Amino acid sequence: MPTASTDPAHRRSTGTTTPYDVGLPLLRLVLGLIMAVHGTQKLFGWFDGPGIQTTGRSFEQAGYPAGTTMALIAGLTETLGGLGLVVGLLTPLAGAAIVGIMINAIAVTWTGDVIGQQGVEFELLIAAAAATLAITGPGRFALDRFVPGLRNHRAVYGLAALVLAVALAVLFLLLKE
């Protein structure tokens, strides 16, 4: 049974910084920026990205209908989900959005290899980190602390968001030819 000195809720209420208060924002920042950069590459061609038209053609070549629309959805999801993670806003949904994108990325690029040049380690790592943030929450230093209902994060919020993300990812995969 946690004592007052080991209970994370007690440490939050007394202002003591915990390892979670440092580690979760670091994970949010790095993962969120990676995803926001990928999204803006798709949307605007920033950071030497392909832009919306080229990304749209890539979606069409992968078998998705309405490639430009799919590129827009993917770019917005990556950008907004990434930025949500960076600032810790709507963290369960932001993390779940990234998981949904990664499910599609893995389905499109996976050649059967897990390790090697054609493997999916990077995508799996991103999905696992995003799912972890959706379930654990953003930590103390996040805008979610100002959102009623998310102020006291519960794992069930993240799990519900992940179920929604998986369902939507499967729906998008079913749209492929």
CB 113 within 8 A of CB 122: no
Six-digit token string for 130? 């995003």
pLDDT at 9 over 50: no
DSSP for 94-150, please give it: HHHHHHHHHHHHHHHH--S-SSSTT--HHHHHHHHHHHHHHHH---SSSGGGGSTTT
| Confidence label for 133 from pLDDT (cuts 50, 70 and 90) | very high
Cα distance between residue 92 and residue 25, in whole Å: 14
State the helix-helix crossing angle for 91-109 and 19-44, rounded to 10 degrees: 50
pLDDT at 25 over 60: yes
- Mean pLDDT, the chain, integer: 90
- Residue 11 pLDDT: 44
| Confidence label for 10 from pLDDT (cuts 50, 70 and 90) | very low
Lowest model confidence (mean pLDDT) among 47-51, 75-79, 118-122:
118-122
Classified as helix, coil or strand, 3 is coil
Mean pLDDT calculated for residue range 18-41: 96
Distance of CA 20 to the CA centre of its chain: 19
pLDDT at 108 over 80: yes
Non-local (6+) Cβ contacts of 142 within 8 A are 24, 25, 28, 87, 88, 89, 91
Non-local (6+) Cβ contacts of 26 within 8 A are none
Ramachandran sector of residue 100 (left: φ over 0; alpha: ψ -120 to 50; beta: rest): alpha
Q: 48: buried, middle or exposed (CB in 10 Å: 19+, 13-18, 0-12)?
A: exposed
- Residue 110 pLDDT: 76
More confident residue, 23 or 112: 23
- Residue 7 pLDDT: 44
- Residue 105 pLDDT: 94
State pTM to two decimals.
0.87
Containing H/E element for 28?
helix 19-44
pLDDT at 153 over 70: yes
Length of the chain: 177
